Amino acid sequence: MNLVGDWWTLLILRDAFFGAQRFGEFQASLGVARNILANRLDGLVRSSILARQGPPRRPRYTLTDKGRALLPALVALQQWGDVWASPNGAPILVTDEAGAVLQPVELRSRRGPVDATNVRFVAGPDATARTRAFLAAVAGERP
Amino acid sequence: MNLVGDWWTLLILRDAFFGAQRFGEFQASLGVARNILANRLDGLVRSSILARQGPPRRPRYTLTDKGRALLPALVALQQWGDVWASPNGAPILVTDEAGAVLQPVELRSRRGPVDATNVRFVAGPDATARTRAFLAAVAGERP
DNA sequence: CTGTATCCTTAAAGATACTG
DNA sequence: CAGTATCTTTAAGGATACAG
């Protein structure tokens, strides 16, 4: 969340996946103020989510492996919007290289697909005491 | 993005999936100001992502189907953070009802798993002229 | 074209006190 | 307990001009 949980940052990443690479492309597409865009791009580069390439005077911003790894999360969010919040159908289709539309992202364990109502959250080995306390508190609330 | 693309909103939803239902639980967990929390909860209820249940004086906020449908996106984001942005392992594990950890969310088409580098975005039937123009522009940029 | 620097305006956020 | 109301502070965002 600290790295990508920001309004403009998420939109910049979306455009990056669409293929935008230049400062001007992001600016024209998003209509964001230049100083804000520069700030967000800088943050994404410092987080190694985008890489600055080419001449310093006219760089291209490209997704790193770390950045590309965000695609499932963004596609899942887009699919949610298409189904639950888009009045007239999906404006943009996400496909594979052959043009086949992607299936809805789903949660799976080794035992197969997992429905949202069956998902559980448990403290990991490195969870803080605060996290454990919170999970225990809300778990006891609705058995 | 208009519905959930907000810092506190995303954290509220995360806590809701963990099991939080009461105003006080969210407030204690997040440390957010009461007025802000009330504002965000109201927005989520108006968006039908959360439902207000029980007595008006002491309501419980529960996820609707629309809200639960967000889980894949949030899990995908969490998995990304665990792999790419978490210094010491995952603090919280996501499992199925039997305790089996969920597999990484992946993109699939009918033809099988799809790598991020092979994903394409194409204008849907209801895309605006603006969307089409943008996609065409960035597509021509890097063939 | 890609920023940086500056100013200005607005909105978000926090703190606090209060109420049903 | 779950808000509402009010006030203050802070930060974000936008507009503009300028520079490399």
Strand D close to B8 by CB, under 7 A: no
Indicate if the pLDDT at residue A143 is higher than 60: no
Residue nearest to nucleotide D3 (CA to C1'): B38
DSSP B77: H
Residue nearest to nucleotide C15 (CA to C1'): B33
Concatenated DSSP letters for A57-87? TS-EEEE-HHHHTTHHHHHHHHHHHHHHT-T
Structure tokens at B106: 């992946």
Cβ under 8 Å to A: B residues 36-65 = 47
Instruction: Write out pLDDT tens, residues A48-93.
Output: 999 999 998 899 999 999 999 999 999 999 999 999 998 888 899 9
Note the pLDDT of residue B69: 98
Instruction: List chain B pLDDT tens, one digit each, 143 residues.
Output: 999 999 999 999 999 999 999 999 999 999 999 999 999 999 999 999 999 999 988 999 999 999 999 999 999 999 999 999 988 888 999 999 999 999 999 999 999 999 999 999 999 988 988 889 889 988 876 54
Note the pLDDT of residue B142: 59
Indicate if the pLDDT at residue A141 is higher than 60: yes
State whether residue A10 sits within 8 Å of chain B by CB. yes
Interface-testing mutation among A44, A96, A102, A130, with chain B (most B C-beta atoms within 10 A): A96
Chain A partners of B22 at a C-beta cutoff of 8 Å? 141
Assign B63 to helix, strand or coil: strand
Residue located via tokens 């991020």: B116
